[in-house]
Structure 1
């Protein structure tokens, strides 16, 4: 069995974690869509008034998305989860195409992340930005050599 670098293991673990979060988000969006009417009724329930602010906030956020947006978001998040899982698997097996895919996708995400940081700094935005810079730098520095068989 080939020994993988700590950097590669960290990136694959990160990508697997992100894919899992995206999958959970996608499933949650579809469950919200399936139960949209129930959520609307729940939101209108007077018992909820001021009792559980976080639940009220989450339900309000979901209800601000119309069912079409909810469905689109669920599909888009699901596709992104699949692409992220494919990236992780490709990197694990040290496939050249996976390195290129991740470099391109992370590379194109960096300018919007810089813009987001300029608009308003938050610890989450900063961590995501720094992780993506680290992933990009590591994969760029450790780009697999092309082997002819």
Structure 2
């Protein structure tokens, strides 16, 4: 028998899946230059990039000036957070109480830094993430059963 999920819960699961995917890509993009630093240097000095593809050249230049230790720590952090976000999404999909608590804690922790960021400069992306996280927090606090079926 197929379980019916509330539309808002499905939206949260999809959002968490999307965020986890972005974090996984960010992790790979951060860790790739560590192993392939010489290859990236060769590509950045390639004739093809001198006349075309200025965006790729710009990105390569930014990657090549970063400290390898910072790239590693950033990539590792993104990988860990991607894993945690995937665990949240799976737990919410199966309507586990621990997943609800985990999401509540992590979203609650993220709201103060998001407010700080908005105070120092509003962008559409920052505002969208903030509104989404407040909506998730509000939904989980008010509409999910306090003593659900999962555990």
**1-structure distance, mates of 2:96, 2:23:** 23
Q: Are the equivalent residues in 1 in contact too, given 2:96–2:148 (CA < 8 A)?
A: no
Deviates more, 1:44-53 or 1:60-69: 44-53
Q: CA deviation at 1:46?
A: 6.2
Q: How much is the aligned-residue C-alpha RMSD, in angstroms? A: 1.9
Q: Which residue of 2 aligns with 1:25?
A: 26
Determine if the alignment matches structure 1 residue 72 to structure 2 residue 77: no
**1-structure distance, mates of 2:92, 2:148:** 16
TM-score for both structures, normalised by structure 1: 0.89
Unaligned runs of 5+ residues in structure 2 are: none
Structure 1 segment 1-149 matched on structure 2, within 5 A = 1-45=2-46, 48-49=49-50, 51-146=52-147
Unaligned runs of 5+ residues in structure 1 are: none
Q: CA deviation at 1:105?
A: 0.6
Residues 72 and 130 (structure 1 numbering): CA distance in 2 closer, same or farther, change over 3 Å?
same
Q: Are the equivalent residues in 1 in contact too, given 2:16–2:88 (CA < 8 A)?
A: yes
Q: How many residues align?
A: 148
Q: CA deviation at 1:44?
A: 4.0
**1-structure distance, mates of 2:63, 2:132:** 29
TM-score for both structures, normalised by structure 2: 0.88
**1-structure distance, mates of 2:35, 2:5:** 43
Q: CA deviation at 1:147?
A: 6.1
Deviates more, 1:45-54 or 1:100-109: 45-54
